[in-house]
Amino acid sequence: MKNLVAVLAETPHRYVVSKGPQHAEYELADNMAGEEFLPQVSVLPQVDLVITHGGNNTTTECLHFGKPMIVLPIFWDQHDNAQRIDETGFGVRLPTYSFGDGDLPAAIDRAARRSRSADAAGWSLEAAADEPWQRARRRADREGRSMTRGCSERSEEQPVINPLCVWSPAASSLTNR
């Protein structure tokens, strides 16, 4: 996280950071606000882009809210999630421990550009993410099964324990609440 903070401190963007269980081991830069835990499903709708390790909950919630991702996988399912996000254009995968100082800012710009291009074309990440859900629902209907939709069973008040950085031009409004 210290390396992420150092690299992101040099960018013109503002960040909201869920510092996680090691919150006391590092300080945030001036363009960042954050806490040990944040209510992720409340924060995600207010941001433009998410920097994540790519766990299933965060990945699914970003797709649900139509947020592009920069994925820095650490272990298990995160590597597969990062690869699929990159391949499908929903975000950018970076090597977690070996990206260069310019790689992360370039990935942020690339993901933001993809998102703006998709919006201008009338295509959204949210609509694209909804397509597999619609196919699954049609199949379940054909098979006589029921489906309930939900990104996560946790409530908005339940804290998120994984480190998450999110970029938002409106980040300062989050810190004033």
Q: Give average pLDDT by consecutive 10-residue segment, the chain, 177 residues.
A: 90 90 92 91 90 93 90 93 89 91 90 64 52 58 54 37 41 35
Ramachandran class of 54: left when φ > 0, alpha when ψ lies in -120 to 50, beta otherwise:
left
Q: Please indicate, yes or no, if residue 153 is contained in any of the structural domains.
A: no
Number of domains in the chain: 1
**pLDDT value, residue 117:** 56
So what's the pLDDT on residue 124?
Answer: 54
The answer to the question of residue 156 being in a domain is no
Instruction: Give the C-alpha separation, 129 to 54, whole Å.
Output: 16
Structural domain of 167: 2-136+161-175
pLDDT at site 169: 38
Is 144 contained in some domain? no
149 inside domain: no
Q: Identify the pLDDT of residue 162.
A: 38
Note the pTM of the prediction, 2 decimals.
Answer: 0.68
Nearest to 22 by CA among 5, 36, 11: 36
Residue 148 falls inside a structural domain: no
CATH code, 122: 3.40.50.2000
Q: Beta strands of 55-153 (E only): which ranges?
A: 69-71, 91-93
pLDDT given for residue 105 in this prediction: 93
Asked, for residue 40, whether it belongs to a domain, the answer is: yes
In a domain, 56, yes or no: yes
Is position 142 within any domain? no
Q: Give every CB contact of residue 77 below 8 A, 6+ residues apart in sequence.
A: 54, 55, 56
